[in-house]
Amino acid sequence: MTKTFTALLPHILPWLISETHLRSQQLQQTAGLFDEGGTVPFIARYRKEQTGELDEVQIRFIEERLAYYRELLDRKETILSSIAEQGKLSDELAARIAVTRQKTELEDLYLPFKPKRRTKAIIARERGLEPLADLLAAQDATTLTLAELAAPFVDADKEVPDAAAALAGAGHILAERLAEDADVRARVRQLTWDAGIITSRVATDKVGTVSKFEMYYDYREALKSIPSHRMLAMRRGEVEEVLRLALEAPEAEILLYLQGRLRKGASVFAPFLGAVASDAYKRLISASIEVELRLEAKKRADEGAIAIFAGNLRNLLLAPPAGNLRVLGVDPGLRTGSKLAVIDATGKFCEHVTIYPHTGEARVAAAQTELLRLIAAHQVEMVAIGNGTAGREMEEFVKATCLAAGLRLPVVAVSEAGASIYSASDIAREEFPELDLTVRGAISIARRLQDPLAELVKLDAKSIGVGQYQHDVNQAALKKSLDAVVESCVNWVGVDLNTASWALLSYVAGIGESLAQAIVRYRDEHGPFATRKALLKVPRFGAKAFEQAAGFLRIRGGSDPFDNTAVHPERYPLVKAMAADLGSSVAVLAREPALAEQIDLSRYVTAAVGLPTLRDIVDELKKPGRDPRASFRMASFRDDVKQLSDLSAGMLLEGVVTNVTAFGAFVDVGVHQDGLVHVSHLGHRFIRDPNEAVKVGQIVKVKVLNVDAPRKRIALSIKEASPAPAR
């Protein structure tokens, strides 16, 4: 049976305190909340008193470390049992296993006892050479030569024909002992990490060829400091068999250390033991340490890339929504035409048509007529145009058509990243079984403008295209991180219970995919939910799920005004008491948020409800139903810049940040090819992390530095587009 986190704490609490710098009570309370089925968003928002106001990042880190230590303790039990069964578990070894906090160190301690294939050392022991190895290791003063010491162990029947064979076998035993010593492995690992150099060479059969890996054809960099993007690029080159990677260790320093572990000073044994140390390193240690450290470097590179992806995804998901407007979505095309789809203010599909404004003058008039008919028929308030092929041409056509008709209609370029994947997905087929893929794409583009978060959660986050080497990193770790970001964003913003798709609902704390689908089925059969409590009528939606989810769900225009706020239903009685103490009612308090300013929080502090929760409640009463995201703003692309050939050095443009990487940021300036702002051009001060300067979705002013048309590369500068701040 899996141990609860609370049961683990007596063994690991000091470790957690040293890692997190949190109080014992905070850790114990948080572990208990997890054991009770608490989710990270719920604990962070509604259990602040128990956790001491820990935020989501801290709570999620505690959860990760608790899971790590549970795995560690389970592995310790397995290892202790295995060593005990061999009759080799000493008190000293058991004590050392008990205090280790690292899985790597634990496996080092287990290595001498781990079942293994027949090694040279095992064969030497079978030939009776272990006593000779002990004599050599002891290095007691003697007048005998090594050959004379080995002579008694010569035995032709045991395949030890002479003293040289006996010494070789004893050397194998000593080499294996040294290689399996946990302290030795830890020291060699650290020396290699601190001074190791990762090298890259072009593969023999690729010499002289042109590739994207050319800068790594003859490359060296310190292992411990190589940036994530370079490590992943080199790894990809190796996978594609263009590069050959190797790790150069500080061999001389390592051998000196190993010899010091074996030798007890100058003696007749010294040359022999020096050779043993060299054999132990080159035959038994170096290869495994290189594999370990290359994997560690890959893991760290993965973590860096995943962190960048997660940050970009958060900014994209929390992009300002245009809101509840009637939107015309356009999936632009040339030969196959542009698909137009209208959605109403709730995101419901209304109508679609296909127009062909770019296939000859004869079809332009018909396209204009159809466009204006759609806009008038559905009272369209905004147009969203995909930024892919023919996007700028379509934007120009729509603007010109509306201007000629006297319409002042906002036209916005929307990222198409992942739209085609959505169009062919199960959820798209479920939503629009009768519609063509491209029409589904136009609907998705319109909805992205209306509410980016609600639409983008329907996609596999990896397909959104805001990552760096996302296909090269650990996919399980990537998914876990991105799912956590989506969950965090969804619960921070809140979800309209009566309009949300099951994909969006599935990220609400405590719900998940199965319950989300059950909610939508119930809503389809019984109509909109009038109250949050009505959720309890949904099959399999129990009290625990309600506790976790209710505060993050919104009901607009329901019978209880606080169902449209982040106030949790468990605190409704408290809100009623506050209203009564003001000589008012809940309905009046909801209509007149200014009344909340008069609430004296100190009157309501109890053992269960402290000031953090009370402050959150009053903040909600002051701004009921507010969307915490920023206000919507459009980027303005230059009308005379539509393709790469329109660009020239020195131009000042407005653009939208589409991706942030470790080396800079990519910006869409409206020419179907993003430009790169190198990290050195992000600002007038030194910037180590590009995320300090820009975010995905941010509108920025840039200056064109260089255009490389054959390679489709655009160099941009934010620094050059704005004056340096006064000193």
Q: What is the pLDDT of residues 397-427, one digit of tens each?
A: 999 999 999 998 999 989 888 788 889 888 9
Q: Quick one: 188 and 49 in the same domain? A: no
Give how far Cα 713 sits from Cα of 644, 666, 667, 690, Å.
9, 11, 12, 19
Give the predicted TM-score (pTM) of the model: 0.87
pLDDT tens by residue, 27-39 = 999 999 999 999 9
**Least confident interval from 10-14, 488-492, 688-692:** 688-692
Q: Is residue 222 part of a domain?
A: yes
Total length of the chain = 727
Q: Which of 561, 346, 590 is nearest to 454 (CA)?
A: 346
Between 540 and 361, the higher pLDDT residue: 540
> Are the CB atoms for 180 and 111 separated by under 8 Å?
yes
Q: What is the chain's mean pLDDT, rounded?
A: 93
End residue of a domain, out of 309, 342, 375: 309
- pLDDT at position 637, please? 84
Residues 54 and 202 both lie in one domain:
no
- CA 415, 416, 422: angle at the middle one, nearest 5? 135
Question: Do 90 and 171 sit in the same domain of this protein?
Answer: no
How many whole angstroms separate alpha carbon 679 and alpha carbon 662?
8
Contacts 24+ apart (CB under 8 A), 255-260: 255/281, 257/187, 257/188, 257/191, 258/178, 258/184, 258/188
Q: Are residues 165 and 234 in the same domain?
A: yes
Helix axes 182-195, 103-110, angle to 10 degrees: 140
- The residue behind tokens 């369209």 is 380
Whether the Cβ atoms of residue 249 and residue 190 lie closer than 8 Å to each other = no
Name the residue with higher pLDDT: 236 or 142: 236
Write down the pLDDT at residue 455: 93
726 pLDDT tier (thresholds 50, 70, 90): low
Q: Which residues pair with 661 in a beta bridge?
A: 664
In a domain, 490, yes or no: no
Q: Is residue 500 part of a domain?
A: no
pLDDT, tens digit, 9 for 90 and up, residues 91-148: 999 999 999 999 999 999 999 999 888 899 999 999 999 999 999 999 988 888 999 9
Q: Are residues 172 and 59 in the same domain?
A: no
Work out the pLDDT band at 568, boundaries 50, 70, 90.
very high
Q: Dig out the tokens for 136 from the structure.
A: 């050599």
Per DSSP, 24 falls in state H
The CATH code of the domain that includes 699 is 2.40.50.140
Kindly tell me if the per-residue pLDDT of 633 is higher than 90. no
| 282: DSSP letter | I
| Domain annotation covers residue 468 | no
CA distances from 221 to 103, 224, 289 (A): 27, 9, 18
pLDDT band (50, 70, 90) for residue 168: very high
Tell me, yes or no, whether 293 and 243 share the same domain. yes
Q: Which of 55-59, 75-79, 222-226, 688-692 has the least mean pLDDT? A: 688-692
What CATH number has the domain bearing residue 39?
1.10.10.650
Provide the token pair at 565: 């706020």
Percent of the chain with pLDDT over 70: 99
Amino acid symbol at 301 = A
Examine residue 55 and state whether it is found in any structural domain, yes or no.
yes
Picking from 550, 545, 505, 542, the residue whose alpha carbon sits closest to that of residue 523 is: 505
Distances (CA, A) of 292 to 180, 281, 296: 15, 15, 6
| Closest by CA position to 442, among listed 513, 536, 526, 350 | 350
User: Two tokens at 372?
Assistant: 């204006």
Examine the pLDDT at 293 and tell me if it is beyond 70.
Answer: yes
Evaluate the CA torsion angle 14, 17, 20, 26 in order and state its sign.
positive
Residues 163 and 195 in one domain: yes
Last residue of a domain, one of 113, 141, 159: 113
CA distance 58 to 473: 24
Element (H, E) at 51: helix 48-51
% of residues, the chain, pLDDT over 90: 77
Q: What are phi and psi of 605, to 5 degrees?
A: -70, 125
pLDDT recorded at residue 727: 58
Within a domain: 592: no
Q: SS3 of 714, please?
A: strand
- Computed from CA positions of residues 632, 633, 639, 641, in that sequence, does the dihedral angle turn out positive or negative? negative
Contact call for residues 579 and 562 (beta carbons, < 8 A): no
Least confident of 90-94, 439-443, 528-532, 669-673: 669-673
Has residue 390 been placed in a domain? no
Question: Per the structure block, which two tokens stand in for 416?
Answer: 């198409």
β-pair type (382-386, 349-355):
unpaired
Q: For residues 669 and 412, what is the distance between their CA atoms, to the nearest angstrom?
A: 13
CA distance 260 to 193: 20
Return the DSSP state at 240.
Answer: T
Question: Is residue 37 located within the same domain as residue 179?
Answer: no
Residue written as token pair 């051998």: 255
Could you say which of 309, 333, 365 is where a domain stops? 309
What gap in Å lies between CA 452 and CA 445, rounded to an integer? 9
User: Looking at the structure, do residues 138 and 55 belong to the same domain, yes or no?
Assistant: no
The count of domains in the chain is 3
User: Same domain for 105 and 183?
Assistant: no
Residues 254 and 294 both lie in one domain = yes
Collapse the DSSP code of 574 into the 3-class scheme (helix H, G, I; strand E, B; otherwise coil) and give the result.
helix
N-term to C-term CA, the chain: 64
**Tens-place pLDDT, residues 171-188:** 999 999 999 999 999 999
- The whole domain housing 692 covers 644-717
Structure confidence at residue 1 as a pLDDT band (50, 70, 90): very low
Could you tell me if residue 278 is inside a domain?
Answer: yes
Q: Are residues 271 and 154 in the same domain?
A: yes
Mean pLDDT of 282-295: 96
b/e map 499-523, b = 16+ CB within 10 Å: bbbbbbbbbbbbbeeebbbbbbebb
